[in-house]
Amino acid sequence: MATQDARGCEVAADEAAEEVNSYRFNLLHCLAEGLPDLHDPRYDVLKSAPPGGCSAGRYGDYFCLRCERPGVNLLDAVAPVCAEVRGASGVLMTDLGVEGLWEWTADGPDGHGATIVAQLLLMAAERGSLIGYGVEDLVRFLRTAAG
């Protein structure tokens, strides 16, 4: 069965499912106890050599990465950047700059709702680790609770 892509071109269903788009997003290192200073030395390596497709910048008075990365959806674009940052600096980026996480819009896997979901997952990873949960604990919880 064929569908149409964003340009109106007909593509096979399996190709449409794997279409790669470009996503723009900000990543911040917002800890449960607050935002570290813009000049925190943990950011030095990220300022001098940010991940591909990203540039080091400011989000208000705080350090952020402004990124444009490819992905099948927003989560697939954000996750590799977080992994690269963690590998290079040990920093777990936990925030996409969403204020009003309680506001909801079901606008699909590429919209504002996806940004909210991504930020909640990153926050869960950071805060879960503070109380002893590992990634596998969180994955198991999601699989059990959500099916």
Could you read off the pLDDT of 17-41 as tens digits, one per residue?
A: 678 999 999 999 988 887 888 899 9
Contact in structure between 46 and 64 (CB atoms under 8 Å): no
Phi, psi of 64 (to 5 degrees): -150, 160
Q: How far apart are CA 122 and CA 127, in angstroms?
A: 9
What are the pLDDT digits (tens) for 83-123?
999 999 999 999 999 988 888 889 988 899 999 999 999 99
Q: Is the pLDDT of residue 8 over 50?
A: no
Contact in structure between 110 and 21 (CB atoms under 8 Å): yes
Q: How far apart are CA 61 and CA 27, in angstroms?
A: 14
Contact in structure between 30 and 82 (CB atoms under 8 Å): no
Contact in structure between 62 and 99 (CB atoms under 8 Å): no
Question: Can you give the pTM of this predicted structure?
Answer: 0.81
Contact in structure between 29 and 46 (CB atoms under 8 Å): no
